[in-house]
Amino acid sequence: MNQLTTRPIGKRPPPAGFTLVEVLIVVVILGILGAVIIPSFSNASEIARESTLADTLRLMRTQLGVFGAQHLDVSPGYPNGDTTAAPTFDAFRDHHRF
């Protein structure tokens, strides 16, 4: 007797791959997970941006404090440190030698 014809007539062998329904279910599940996860990445980028801005403000505050300590609390741009005169860019440029 031939071994290739030993299965009963009318019975199909089990399928070798995935069915279309199984693939569609996996795609739907991945889509739902993506919809849940993507907003958290957006939130993380917003938090990173806020952190960068806060760090920049902290650095500017430190730099202004150091400048004030080195220049007797006279803001940049006042000619010869005269705080009664209007600040000018020329005085700032001449003082810092760009």
Give how many domains the chain has, as a whole number: 1
Judge whether 40 lies within some domain.
yes
Q: Identify the domain containing residue 90 by its residue range.
A: 24-96
Percent of the chain with pLDDT over 70: 69
Query: Token pair 């860019």 is at which residue?
Result: 89
Rounded to whole angstroms, the Cα distance separating 66 from 75 reads 11
Judge whether 90 lies within some domain.
yes
Judge whether 31 lies within some domain.
yes
Judge whether 2 lies within some domain.
no
Phi, psi values for residue 49, rounded to 5°: -65, -45
| CB-based contact 78:91 (threshold 8 Å) | yes
Lowest model confidence (mean pLDDT) among 22-26, 41-45, 68-72, 85-89 = 85-89
Judge whether 63 lies within some domain.
yes
- Neighbouring CB atoms inside 10 A of 43's CB total 10
| CB-based contact 88:79 (threshold 8 Å) | yes
Percent of the chain with pLDDT over 90: 24
Residue pLDDT, tens place only, 26-64 = 999 999 998 988 888 878 888 999 999 999 999 988 988
